[in-house]
Structure 1
């Protein structure tokens, strides 16, 4: 259990000023009356993570890690969880008696987003758009769905790492190009589309994705995203990346504080923050 000793956590990234993690974690501290805890955002350019974490004061119990630091967090850690090793990515560093433990709560967030589609049929086929760093946690999360299979769609033949990740988790997967003439029919007939492509690339895919019955978009601002708006207009159901963001933060909160995360308080804080951003 967390004690009354002053404790800190922070999010590391570059850029990092836009991060909603301080709002989420601070809301959790307030809900549980963890007055000794504080959470901040620290700019961490590429190559700087080891220096920042290695020199962190003892009060720091953990770090949330965004890009470009996720590969560096994995390499820096004294210990790595099995799931972080399998996805080759770490978004979480937790101080332990033996040093720093690297974990990937992005998998928890991805599974929360998938699970939000409560009507997903058994043994679903899932089209995964993109094969980068966000795709691998989704692959790990999909592996928790019995009988699920994945079609990984990429612009170029770069899905090798994602296919290897799927194989490590024992998930049936194959890849196609985004320009493949079979892809529109696959999207129309598939059970779920998951988008991990950044906004600039996703803009070009709105008509391709419009017929999807269900969409999880890792993006969440502005909302609805271009893909989300297209699927909603086509009569489909959409879950946004805010669900993934909350899910990974809940996991981090519990790792840092050793307390059960107050999910509703953190969800409300996230919703209010996103509404405020949308009104600007």
Structure 2
């Protein structure tokens, strides 16, 4: 038996088990299991240390993405953004591998939406997910990023080191402001909803709007972007794309993102109907 799981606190809302089990079914991996465990920061190290040789990998959600970095060898991108969402066990005495598939997942989701290259972006929010978004934009060629944030000082402290690594220029504007230059891509990473008038003013600036929320959906920004005729991505696009990379890291097998999107959207629909 090969065991994997998602950890976080709270964890009851997580759709990761649905996605990973769908991947195992599609790949014919009948001896793989994937569960969810409510684990907080204080319990993370003990949980990891207590896993036996049947354990292959863990997905990490809030509030564990920073704490996991100390429990293995972070990849370069996980170290740069200061967050990991994947731990692959090494039971041979070496360090566990810590990766951040949110970064590659965002890039893959944008590419799937037709964004092959871009030079400018609007980033809404300035926390850990925003750092991952910055890193995800680098392979697309984005060199100038406007950031909507409530505190310019906190935004620069969080994002400047990541931007400097990737050669990006950051401009921070007020939460209710509008970028001076229309961005090629907009990524919303903040859990707080935008005011409707602000959403309306920025929704049509980009051809592609990526709002990482998936429940409740649609967000104010997503509705405004759809009315403006743009392409809209949601949090399920990210969750499925990053899970494709997690499945590959844990099983060594590739699964089509459509398999995970279908399973995730079906589970969301059932949750809303219930």
TM-score calculated relative to the size of structure 2 = 0.91
Cα shift readout 1:109-161 (whole Å, capped 9, x = no counterpart): 1112322431x485431010111011111111101012542111211121122
Aligned length: 268
1:236 partnered with 2:230? yes
The question of whether the paired residues in 1 share the 8 Å contact of 2:24 and 2:32 is answered with: yes
1:270 matched to 2:267? The reply is no
In 1, Cα distance between equivalents of 2:194 and 2:9: 22
1:197 is matched with: 190
Write the deviation string for residues 24-49 of structure 1: whole angstroms up to 9, x where unpaired. 10011111111110000000123211
The reply to whether residue 210 of structure 1 matches residue 191 of structure 2 is: no
| 2:107 equivalent to 1:106 | no
Report the Cα offset of residue 261 of structure 1.
2.3
Counterparts of 2:112 and 2:194, CA distance in 1: 22
Shift of 1:191: 1.8
2:75 counterpart of 1:81: yes
* 1:49 paired residue among 31, 38, 44: 44
Aligned to 1:3: none
In 2, Cα distance between the equivalents of 1:55 and 1:203? 46
Q: 2:159 aligns with which of 144, 148, 162?
A: 162
Q: Specify which of 4, 14, 23 is matched with residue 9 of structure 1.
A: 4
Aligned-partner Cα distance in 1 for 2:180–2:110: 19
Aligned to 2:249: 255
Runs (4 or more) in structure 1 with deviation over 6 Å come to none
How well do the aligned residues superpose, as a CA RMSD in angstroms? 1.9
Of 186, 194, 214 in structure 1, the residue corresponding to residue 180 of structure 2 is 186
Please identify, of 239-248 and 167-176, the stretch whose mean Cα deviation from structure 2 is larger. Answer: 167-176
2: CA distance, partners of 1:266 / 1:121: 22
**Aligned residue in 2 for 1:172:** 169
**Distance 1:149-1:53 versus aligned 2 partners, 3 A rule:** same
Distance of 1:42 and 1:121 partners within structure 2: 37
User: 1:63 and 1:156 mapped to 2: Cα distance?
Assistant: 34
Among candidates 128, 132, 145, match of residue 127 of structure 2: 132
1:205-229: CA deviation from partner (whole Å, max 9, x where unpaired) = 4334333333110111222222101
Out of 3, 22, 26, which is 1:27 matched to?
A: 22
Gaps of 5+ in 2: none
Q: CA deviation at 1:90?
A: 0.4
